[in-house]
Chains A and B, each alone.
Chain A
């Protein structure tokens, strides 16, 4: 019908910069980012590579040959920084698929320009998280026993063990996220292919899989994308639930609680969105993406942070309340020890960073100040790491048997591996910004007003 086209496009909530007039402006801006990198990029990449070196030496060079004893772990505290960091990265991995899939299904207007980066973050975060169970086990060379494969005695894994659930959840999550990520990339890779020259062109030709944007391709692509989104959405919620059950399924005071699944999922989204902000703010600056990442986008993400931060804070408080309300001495001691015991500092870092700092997001001025958001997001990242540290360590070091209580102090090796994991993540993300369109070209076009010959009257009747 008349003008149906234009109306429709705006109704889909185009949140793009007025400078964008023509569809191929998007290609121009986005593909420009994939041009030859500057010194800064190489410097960062070198830094990351060095970090990975340290990481590998600490892990495969020291810990594996010498023994897991090089960590600070001990009798009562069998899990420490490694598991903490595992959960942290799995959490980070969440917002990617969340922003991408859930917001896609809900047609959230602010999604298009950030979801690509978010998805990339997801994939790389899972790649990082996936390393930690391997780093953590005492006998790396036997870790493959957790995978169900027909061995000599036909002894299969114990499907009652939350750790096996983890194996399935994390691998599934990685596969689906990666697929989802790559699928969304294909048309944009094709776009890159059609601009690129020489070696890059060859490269893109291969991974574009011969995409041409023909009607049938778009047709099935659209549907497949929706179904993947539909599958990924419950997956997002399930993965961190399963991770939370690693703890909740045990009988450890401080772990054994039904609130963990929603609590962890909220926390994951919280930390994930924060990490997106942390990553996107510099990208925006460096590549001059103000046209695509407007304050509206950040405002929306800030609101999501605010919401999840409140859920998380609620979870904290209800845990403390219920520990007291239960009247169970063991439970009470555990949570009292959390607040005022040997690890009080970790708990208070957690409470301040996750519970108090985000309160500032209530104010529009804060939500609209990019620097402020950046700082807050850093706080949240720190706070969320400590949240996992608090859960893992404070619960274990004071358990049922008082005589076996003990203290845990992370070792240098653990610290190297912790920092190394950030370098590992950063390395992949840096490559991503140069090799793949960091912003979804075709979806931006979707939300732009399509070019019309007869602007006045409708196109066709």
Chain B
């Protein structure tokens, strides 16, 4: 269906709707389009003259991507969401947004969404009406609950995933009214952590960490930057605690203890590669070293049992390393220990989590860097049951006492090991219902599919932490071609058909009644408060203060020893959540499929991580396809040799190998769970992912990996240098590389010096450059960027943000294999090796590489048709329409940031996925070159706004490129470097500032980098 048609459908309503909202910069006003609620909201009409057609309208809402519930701004154009961004006012995410958050937009417009309720007829589904579907569901529920019914009777079971508090409450009421049972299941569960908190402190919510406040941070294999409870918040925390302070020359230390370096681990200052499963032992060993004899309260005896020596033995690391670490953990307070995360859910995971809590406790971090909410009423964040519950549900279904099973927001048929028998059990249920917006492995088994709405089309709420509440509002009319209904509305409709009144006709009403009392308001005040809540996107109120809790002894005995692993393989299998797909729920997004994995830089397909030495022993090279065999299954997968993993372990990411999820997910990669047993960890009941050993045998075949990585070695080039903390301050005296004055031949005047001196970032045109009319460019702004490599965590959120903002196409696996990925920004990952006496000898440098907008741009003079040239504002402009496609500019670009449209890639974008395209950015044609434009459209937008308001110049911070906006680490700063007060100017003043390759080829880039700061001496320094 064409976009015109779409506009015709709702043109009138949209006009009303625009009248409702209007533009007040970002975070405008109110709410979703032509749902019947619009009328209720009409009182907040904004005067017509404030409405500017073609200008973006912004809404606040809550990201429904994961349990972190980050605050979101959504940019809509003509009533269509085109871009999502972090809401700076939200206390959790503070303006950051991860790649997955950005990609939720693709699920909104996903061509694989259901076009209406689907009713199974034999093997196939038939599209039906909502009335029909709700009627059918009501009928089946009644029938199932009829005691006389012995054939297909049974209770109602609701299997739910993550949902907001109100929705959760509604489900409870719905189920209760039917005397059914409710089970929650998430692909990635924090159950062991939750259980440990319950045991240790009687808290029934996840501990909250103040990572930014820590001086020494320990992660026991907890991948908090890419997965974990709240990636954006924790990533921000990491960059804040570990980034150097340029005044005091101090920075926090981050130590990673784990068998494999995740993105999180790659940011660590030290890596202690402990044996898989030994986290608990190490934590206890350190705790006992800190607590000393008799210390550790209720756990004193336990700590006696676990001396550092025992821990060292278990972890296969030097005892002095553990003692040293313990000493520092105690002295460098406030310190903080995290983990072990979902990557290390082994048979003693709860104990391991408990051990880390004990460590924090003895080091006195409770109440300072780690908080336990003992006042009950914990947030919804991650409060999901483990595998045990779904296991019982499976048994129930298998035994036939479930008549109707309703699945909502979760996909157990994919995210549970085959051995769990869920699929078979579920199939036995007489009537299976799925609330899903698009097909997935579980919905494929259902008898009735009720198309759920995307969170950007529906109402909801969130309580990410005590004292924080945010309303999730629809930012646009439901995508017209999909006849969807949000689950809440459907549940209410069905229960009224069943004769149960849940107190509201629509979920919107229900939601409001839920919040009648928030901010202590009533009546008309409520409306005001409600509107405020929607406008700000978040409500903060005093949380019930919870006293610093006391450590409690466990009721049941726990074993803290490293777990027993299945099988007799010589390699331990590590299964971890994917940094791109989480547990697999994001796999159908082409953006995420093509996003290079932050660690391996591989796109689309799966890979097995193996240590180079292990590979060498077995004659396995990167790209070889191996058979990974566990007692529970086997997979064929290509190998990627990775020095960041122990020699006795191999790692496989979740999220691949979908079979019924959609065109982009299916057949891409393998499902790591196929190698796992269906074992529930005790007592938390979490699914055990660190469960088995494997044998790896070379199949003799191989493939070219779809990676963007050329060489991970800098080859001693001034690309991503680092500076030792101790040398900061003296760095100024570092001898400049000596080379004679550069000369160039001029038609007039023979050889004259090349304008290279005074190559200050602000200096464009350079002194002595004869640029004729461009001379007045000295007055205008000179756009420049600064990227602090000591903050950058490599999370790659900027990559997806850029792709969303600039209509950068995805090209597909084959094209990436050929080396044709189109991303305008890539996170380069270089290995440097530190003196090998240290345990983990890796020093990893992340470098976001985008167009450097060089003052002396090599790409410009070689273009025969002036398709690329330098604007007076110092931006290296690319004129797509002028490009003939000689590709000379790309050859001559030393940074290799120019990407070419080898085909008309946008032709491959199906309706309505192309509705997401940003109307402010042209879609590029076949055969033209493209590259980062510094988000020129945003620069112009800011300039126009400034001009409209009293014709003032653009203020610093008004122009925010997509990458800077979404960066959780706050590593990117953009602005006019001619303005001495601009943030970018201030940042660039740092002694760590350098420009990539500049001293080598005098390109005078406008992008400035701040060197990473290391504690260890920087060996093999790249100039």
Which residues of A approach B to under 8 Å, CB–CB? 66-69, 72-79, 133, 136-139, 142-143, 145-146, 155, 157-158, 160-164, 167, 246, 249-252, 329-330, 333, 396, 399-408
Contact = CB atoms under 8 A, between A and B. Distances in A.
A163 B886 contact: yes
A154 to B, nearest CB: 12
B887 A79 contact: yes
Contacts of A133: 886
B862 A162 contact: yes
Nearest to B709: A403
A251 B858 contact: yes
A138 B891 contact: no
Interface size classification for chain B: 35 or more
Interface in B704-725: 708-717, 719
B887 A73 contact: yes
Contacts of A68: 885, 902, 927
Contacts of B903: 66-67, 69
A157 B864 contact: yes
B754 interface: no
Given A137-B885, A403-B849, 14 more contacts: A67-B904, A67-B926, A75-B820, A79-B888, A138-B883, A138-B885, A158-B866, A162-B888, A330-B717, A401-B828, A401-B895, A403-B829, A403-B830, A405-B710
Given A67-B926, A163-B888, A250 B862 contact: yes
Given A333-B715, A399-B896, A405-B711, A72 B864 contact: no
A97 to B, nearest CB: 25
Given A138-B884, A251-B892, A402-B717, A75 B899 contact: yes
A322 B743 CA distance: 20
Given A402-B719, A403-B829, A76 B896 contact: yes
Of the candidates B714, B829, B896, B904, the one having the most CB atoms from chain A within 10 angstroms of its own CB is B896
A139 B895 contact: no
A279 B925 CA distance: 44
Nearest to A161: B864
18 contacts: A67-B927, A75-B819, A78-B887, A79-B891, A138-B926, A138-B928, A139-B926, A142-B884, A143-B884, A145-B882, A158-B865, A330-B1000, A401-B894, A403-B712, A403-B826, A403-B830, A404-B826, A404-B895
Nearest to B601: A403
B902 A136 contact: no
Contact of A401 (B818, B849, B858, B866): B849
Of the candidates B821, B826, B866, the one having the most CB atoms from chain A within 10 angstroms of its own CB is B866
Given A138-B883, A250-B892, A74 B818 contact: yes
B851 to A, nearest CB: 12
B863 interface: yes
Contacts of B885: 68, 137-139, 142
Nearest to A400: B894
Contacts of B719: 401-402
Contacts of B891: 78-79, 250, 252, 396
B267 interface: no
Interface in B847-865: 847, 849, 858, 861-865
Given A251-B1001, A329-B716, A76 B864 contact: no
A251 B899 CA distance: 18
Interface in B882-934: 882-888, 890-892, 894-896, 899-904, 925-929
B566 to A, nearest CB: 39
Nearest to B704: A407
B866 A155 contact: yes
Contacts of A69: 815, 820, 902-903
A408 B712 CA distance: 19
B819 A403 contact: no
Nearest to A145: B865
Given A139-B884, A250-B862, A330-B717, A403 B711 contact: yes
B818 A72 contact: yes
Interface of B: 708-717, 719, 815, 818-821, 826, 828-830, 847, 849, 858, 861-866, 882-888, 890-892, 894-896, 899-904, 925-929, 997, 1000-1001
B716 A146 contact: no
Contacts of B926: 67, 138-139
B198 to A, nearest CB: 46
Nearest to B896: A404
A406 B904 CA distance: 22
Q: Determine chain A's interface SS by DSSP, over half rule.
A: loop
Contacts of A146: 864-865, 884
B710 A402 contact: yes
A137 to B, nearest CB: 5
A246 B861 CA distance: 12
Nearest to B712: A403
Of the candidates A133, A136, A137, A407, the one having the most CB atoms from chain B within 10 angstroms of its own CB is A137
Of the candidates A69, A75, A145, the one having the most CB atoms from chain B within 10 angstroms of its own CB is A75
A67 B902 contact: yes
B896 A75 contact: yes
Nearest to B901: A138
Nearest to A411: B818
Question: Which 3 A-B pairs rank lowest in CB-CB distance, beginning with the nearest?
Answer: A138-B885, A138-B927, A405-B710
Contacts of A139: 883-885, 925-928
Contact of A329 (B715, B904, B929): B715
B713 to A, nearest CB: 6
B272 to A, nearest CB: 28
Of the candidates B891, B894, B900, B927, the one having the most CB atoms from chain A within 10 angstroms of its own CB is B891
Of the candidates B716, B819, B828, B899, the one having the most CB atoms from chain A within 10 angstroms of its own CB is B819
A403 B827 CA distance: 10
B896 A161 contact: no
B819 A74 contact: yes
Contact of B717 (A136, A162, A400): A400
Contacts of B900: 75, 78, 138
Contacts of B925: 139
Of the candidates A167, A400, A403, the one having the most CB atoms from chain B within 10 angstroms of its own CB is A403
A401 B858 CA distance: 14
A29 B861 CA distance: 55
A246 B862 CA distance: 9
Given A75-B890, A402-B710, A403-B710, A137 B818 contact: no
Contacts of B815: 69
Contacts of A155: 865-866, 882
B895 A400 contact: yes
B711 A158 contact: no
Contacts of B1000: 330, 400
A163 B864 contact: yes
A72 B902 CA distance: 10
B453 to A, nearest CB: 38
A36 B714 CA distance: 66
A330 B714 CA distance: 11
B862 A163 contact: yes
A402 B820 contact: no
A137 B892 contact: no
Contacts of B894: 251, 399-401
Nearest to A75: B819
A94 B980 CA distance: 58
A396 B890 CA distance: 10
A138 to B, nearest CB: 2
A401 B884 contact: no
B820 A74 contact: yes
A157 B882 CA distance: 11
Contacts of A250: 858, 862, 888, 891-892
Nearest to B861: A160
Of the candidates B712, B899, B929, B1000, the one having the most CB atoms from chain A within 10 angstroms of its own CB is B1000
Contacts of A74: 818-820, 902
A213 to B, nearest CB: 46
Nearest to A255: B891
A422 B334 CA distance: 75
Of the candidates B821, B863, B885, the one having the most CB atoms from chain A within 10 angstroms of its own CB is B885
A250 B858 CA distance: 8
